[in-house]
């Protein structure tokens, strides 16, 4: 199988071809590892978990940004593979891109729990309660592994590097939708900017390429809706009051829950 890789050594860029033996069940990352072990040890790429949960091996495979560890050769249905570094990023070497801007954008939307009373975060009386129904409103966007693939697919990021990007906006919505969070007003000051949420025109490419099904495009559209609601009707995202959030301690004379049965049915 022929593999074409876009190389970059800090000065010049070129395409390099490799001939590798590969089974259809091999992943693209397996092929890259084989090249580095057997043929060319100067080839640079990121990898860590090899199972689609760290988000290190994002690259453009046959023109579509994807995780190399999750793409099998058989799925591609092509004679040869074309590998490029992620679009819209500065390339450091070969398939390794500079994720600094990406991480800074993520940080700029304050991706953490904001409470009006910060003491609640330091010393909460008990745990913060979230019902399964409330959890379902944001847990999808919590699955983000920060692989940066969505920014490589986004048409706005391609022309506007100041745009926050699907990942940061999706994460902003994940915290805004969280009933424990109270930082809506603080966050929309950042999001409602000339390079913020409104530069998304719903091309949906981010959701299309997302390897974890996070669907950032949906989060951004909901974010727009929430911001419009806030501006026009002054309606804030419904956040639960602290009194409801704090789980009440059980009364002292409450019956004890039955001990959990670890026995597996039918024996081990």
Partner 1 sequence: MPSKYSLLKESWNMILMYALALIMIFVLTFHLLLVSPLTGRTFDQLLNYNYVLQNLTYYRIVFGLLLYAAVIHGLNGLRIVLIEWLHVKRFQWAVNVIIVILMAILLAFGTYTLIVL
Partner 2 sequence: MGEEKKEKRYKSGLLRSLWPYNFNVERYTYTLHRITGVILILYLMAHVFEIYHVALGPVAWEQTMALLGSLGIWEKIGLWIIAGSALYHGANGFRLILNEVFGMLLGKPVLPEYPYTPTSLSRNQKIAIYLIVLVVEALWIWAGIYLLWGLGII
Long-range pairs, 50-57, Cβ under 8 A, ≥24: 52/145, 52/211, 52/212, 53/145, 54/145, 55/145, 55/146, 55/147, 55/148, 55/149, 55/211, 56/147, 57/29, 57/147
Q: CA 216 to CA 164: how far, in whole Å?
A: 12
Q: Which two tokens stand for residue 92?
A: 């450091």
202 binds partner 2 (CB under 8 A): yes
Q: How far is the CB of 207 from partner 2 (least distance, A)?
A: 4
Closer to partner 1 by Cβ: residue 149 or 197: 197
Which residue from 29, 68, 83, 89 is in contact with partner 2, where contact means CB under 8 A?
Answer: 89
- Interacting partner of 192 out of partner 2, partner 1, none (Cβ under 5 to 8 A depending on kind): partner 1
- Interacting partner of 153 out of partner 2, partner 1, none (Cβ under 5 to 8 A depending on kind): partner 2
Q: Which stretch binds partner 2 (CB under 8 A): 123-131, 179-187, 216-224, 247-255?
A: 216-224
236 binds partner 2 (CB under 8 A): no
Which residue from 158, 192, 242, 246 is in contact with partner 2, where contact means CB under 8 A?
Answer: 158
Neighbours of 92 (CB within 10 A): 15
Query: Residue 48: CB partners within 8 Å, gap ≥ 6?
Result: 54, 56, 57
End-to-end CA, the chain:
46
Q: How far is the CB of 32 from partner 2 (least distance, A)?
A: 18
Q: Can you give the binding site for partner 1, defined by CB under 8 A?
A: 104-105, 108, 156, 159-164, 190, 192-196, 198-199, 224, 227-228, 231-232
* C-alpha distances out from residue 129 to 30, 111, 123, Å: 43, 20, 15
- Interacting partner of 49 out of partner 1, partner 2, none (Cβ under 5 to 8 A depending on kind): none
Helix pair angle (165-177, 216-233), 10° resolution? 60
- Interacting partner of 194 out of partner 2, partner 1, none (Cβ under 5 to 8 A depending on kind): partner 1
Q: How far is the CB of 223 from partner 2 (least distance, A)?
A: 10
């Amino acid at each position: 199988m022929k593999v074409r890789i876009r190389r970059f050594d800090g000065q010049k860029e070129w395409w390099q071809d490799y001939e590798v033996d590969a089974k259809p069940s091999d992943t693209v990352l397996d092929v890259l590892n084989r090249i580095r072990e057997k043929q060319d040890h100067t080839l640079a790429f990121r990898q860590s978990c090899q199972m689609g949960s760290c988000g290190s091996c994002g690259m453009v495979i046959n023109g579509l940004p994807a995780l190399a560890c999750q793409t099998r050769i058989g799925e591609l249905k092509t004679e040869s593979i074309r590998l490029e570094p992620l679009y819209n990023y500065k390339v450091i070497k070969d398939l390794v891109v500079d994720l600094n801007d990406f991480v800074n954008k993520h940080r700029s939307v304050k991706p953490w729990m904001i409470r009006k009373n910060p003491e609640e975060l330091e010393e909460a009386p008990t745990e913060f309660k979230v019902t399964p129904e409330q959890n379902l409103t944001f847990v999808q966007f919590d699955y983000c592994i920060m692989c940066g693939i969505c920014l490589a697919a986004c048409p706005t990021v391609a022309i506007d590097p100041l745009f926050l990007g699907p990942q940061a906006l999706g994460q902003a919505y994940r915290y805004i939708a969280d009933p424990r969070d109270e930082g809506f007003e603080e966050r929309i000051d950042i999001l409602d900017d000339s390079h913020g949420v409104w530069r998304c025109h719903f091309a949906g490419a981010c959701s299309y390429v997302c390897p974890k099904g996070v669907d950032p495009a949906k989060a951004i559209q909901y974010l727009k809706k929430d911001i419009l609601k806030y501006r026009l009707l002054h309606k804030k995202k419904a956040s639960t009051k602290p009194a409801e959030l704090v789980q009440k301690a059980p009364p002292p004379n409450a019956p004890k829950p039955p001990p959990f049965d670890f026995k597996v049915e039918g024996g081990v």
